[in-house]
Structures are given as C-alpha cells and as structure tokens.
C-alpha cells in the first residue's frame, strides 16, 4: 500500500459498512493511506475484504454489526475507538434491494423491510458517527443513496423513498454540524456491477437479459459502472481535497441523471 504524502487520506481512520461498493471503498481507503474498519452482516464476505487488504500491506479489521440495531451500532463505534482511538471518515453503504411492484401492490412488510435497513440503518450510524467525530471537531461522512434518491423509478417506490430520505438526512446533517467541523455528503450511483443490479434485472426480465444488456443502454456513457468508480468519489469526498464539499447529493451515474 502506498505511504507517500500525496495519499488522499494518509493516517486517517475510516469506517465502511456493507459489501459490494463497500469492499471497493475499503480497498481505496487503504490504497490512499487510511486504516479501515469494515462492518458487514456477511462475515465470510467481510473477512475476505479484510484479508485482501491486509495481504497487500494495508491495515483493516472487521466488526460484525446489524446497522438497523442501535446496540450493534453503538458497539461498532465503541470497538472502532478502542482499536484506533478515533475515526475520521465514514461511509454508510449498507442496504438491501427492492421487490419490484407498482405502489398499490407493494406490501407494508416490504416497505418496512426496505426502510428498516436503507433508512433505519443509516440514521443510527450517522447519529453515532457525528457524536463521536464532534469530540475531535472534525470528520467527513458519506452516505450511499443511489440515483433512486434523486429521481423516481417505476416499481421501486419503497426503495426510492428510502434513498430520498437518506439524501434528506445528509442535507440536514450538513446544515446542523458544518460549523463544528463536520462535512456530510451523499453519493448517488447509477447501475453498478454488483449483486444488487443482478437481482433487479432478474425481476424485470425473468432472466431473459443479462444485467449489462439491460442497464448499459440506460447510461449515456454506454456502460454499467464499477464499484471502483464509486469508491474513487467516496474517498475523495472524505479527504481534505474536498474541504468545501458538504450537503451535496452527488451522482456518479454515467450521465443518467442528465436525462431527467
């Protein structure tokens, strides 16, 4: 791992929740000089991420936590502080995909399940992270909202509602804590080559098309994104190079939002 002084987050401590984009983000943080705590419900996946980082000379640990449970989040924050003494950056990435149906056909159970992770999981993490970072009068947090937090999507009303709410939380946190050294932004990816688009494509097409065949044409840039595309932006937003960025809901979507 590079240790040169040009690294974006050299010497900082970062927390990353969730897999997929979370793995690429954790790896990018360590590439840029940070120590990383990975939190994931999928223990084998999280351990694999940590092993990949440590095998390349980085510094990463894993703490299992269900971000929708307040006590798990509090333990996650406490154990991070015990291990590293502070936390400078956080990426709240944990989330679940939606079941596709028109709003009137969506069940209350599905609505509650999606908001229970995508929103109810982000809020306690954000609250605990801010409380801890305020002790140092500095910190940068990035929430994952996706483009479903910027525009509507037919058949995805609970999912879109959860991501719009994450963008709202981001704006409020930035307003309330900016003068105390905190920066809070959200990143809104388009179609990214992870497990989640595969699951959505399967519902839309019943397996008749691959994820790439379905999603590539939706982006003016002509391709699906990679987790690394998103990780680059997340780590930059957490670095001092983005010192005037706060309260932004930033799309990284190959031009998708420009069509709206």
The domain limits of the chain are 13-259
H or E element, residue 252 = strand 249-252
Positions annotated as catalytic residues are 159
Q: Which of 77, 100, 94, 109 is nearest to 13 (CA)?
A: 77
Of 41, 42, 37, which Cα lies nearest the Cα of 25?
A: 37
Give the global pTM: 0.91
**pLDDT tens digit string along 28-41?**
999 999 999 999 87
Nearest CA to 87 out of 194, 148, 11 is that of 11
Average pLDDT over residues 5-21: 89
Q: What is the pLDDT of residues 75-102, one digit of tens each?
A: 999 999 999 998 899 999 978 877 889 9
Spatial contact of 16 and 80, defined as CB atoms under 8 Å apart = no
Task: Look up the CATH number of domain 13-259.
Answer: 3.40.50.720
Q: Give the C-alpha separation, 151 to 62, whole Å.
A: 34
Residue 100 CA to residue 159 CA, distance in Å, equals 9
Distance CA 59, CA 191 (A): 30
């Amino acid at each position: 791992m590079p240790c040169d002084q040009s690294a974006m987050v050299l010497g900082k401590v970062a927390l990353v929740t969730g897999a997929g984009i979370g793995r690429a983000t954790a790896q990018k943080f360590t590439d840029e000089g940070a120590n990383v705590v990975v939190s994931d419900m999928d223990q084998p996946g999280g351990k694999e991420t940590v092993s990949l980082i440590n095998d390349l000379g980085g510094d990463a640990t894993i703490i299992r936590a269900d971000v929708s449970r307040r006590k798990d989040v509090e333990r996650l924050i406490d154990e991070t502080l015990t291990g590293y003494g502070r936390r400078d950056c956080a990426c709240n990435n944990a989330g679940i995909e939606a079941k596709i149906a028109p709003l009137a056909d969506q069940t209350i159970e599905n609505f509650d399940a999606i908001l229970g992770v995508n929103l109810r999981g982000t809020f306690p993490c954000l609250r605990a992270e801010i409380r801890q970072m305020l002790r140092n009068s500095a910190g940068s947090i990035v929430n994952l909202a996706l483009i479903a937090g910027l525009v509507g999507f037919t058949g995805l009303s609970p999912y879109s509602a959860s991501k719009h709410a994450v963008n709202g939380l981001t704006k409020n946190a930035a307003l309330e804590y900016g003068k105390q050294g905190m920066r809070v932004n959200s990143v809104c990816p388009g179609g990214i080559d992870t497990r989640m688009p595969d699951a959505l494509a399967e519902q839309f097409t019943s397996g008749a098309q691959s994820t790439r065949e379905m999603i590539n044409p939706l982006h003016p840039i002509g391709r699906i994104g990679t987790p690394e595309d998103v990780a680059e932006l997340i780590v930059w937003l957490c670095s001092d190079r983005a010192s005037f960025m706060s309260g932004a809901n930033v799309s990284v979507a190959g031009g998708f939002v420009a069509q709206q």
